[in-house]
Amino acid sequence: MTDKINMTVSRNEGKPDIMTAFLFSCPGQEEEKSGKLVNGQTGKNLDIMLSILNKSHPQLFPSSDRYDYRITNSSEKIHYKAFDGRSEPSAAEIKSAVNIGRLENDLRGYECVITFGRCAEIAASILSEKESCKNIRFLRSRHLSFLSLNSSIKTDINGNSIQKGSPDSTYKRLEVAAKNITDQL
């Protein structure tokens, strides 16, 4: 039987000609089940957001399939409430020399890295000081979970209120998240 305490899910390689990468928090229960990063609803939301970004900035986002991109996490250790009582890694876990070295290797050579959430931002702030990552442009985004999107995005890109539960509310929130990314370019 696998030792679940030390279980990890590694990076998604992506296509070698795509120079944009994604940095998320950590693998969770869905990733543990599938062995793939950014699985479940967060992955579906990433695909929707990528289709929006692909239309506006195809040079940075040439595909709307998340698995065409390099994907890594601020920690490769699996965390979820029912497993270890956590949904995110600790700051110490993210900041460890071994982990930062892993991230340097994962992201070296990329032109643009989108960070999703607080943990990814912690890792990016450390990486941006590393010589091997000086040429990477780190762009910030909120996490793409329903909890994050619903709690923080109340109006669409035109300033109109988003009605909770309406059929297009998630799409409208993802448009706002995509615009937040492109505003940083």
pLDDT of residue 10: 81
List, for residues 137-173, the tens digit of each pLDDT value.
999 999 999 999 999 999 999 999 999 889 999 999 9
Give pLDDT, residue 55.
97
CB contact set of 164 (below 8 Å; sequence gap of 6+) = 150
Domains of the chain plus CATH, in order, are 4-182 (3.40.470.10)
Sorted by sequence, the CB contacts under 8 Å of residue 133 that are 6+ apart come out as 104, 107, 108, 127
Closest CA to 43 of 68, 61, 76, 62: 68
Q: Measure the CA–CA gap between 85 and 83, rounded to whole angstroms.
A: 6
pLDDT digits (tens, 9 = 90+) for 52-111: 999 999 999 999 999 999 999 999 999 999 999 999 999 999 999 999 999 999 999 999
Residue 15, pLDDT > 70, answer yes
* pLDDT of 126 above 80: yes
- The amino acid that residue 167 corresponds to is P
1 pLDDT tier (thresholds 50, 70, 90):
very low
H/E element, 155? none
What pLDDT is recorded for position 7?
Answer: 62
Question: Which pLDDT does position 3 carry in this prediction?
Answer: 53
More confident residue, 9 or 114: 114
User: At 12, is the secondary structure helix, strand, or coil?
Assistant: strand
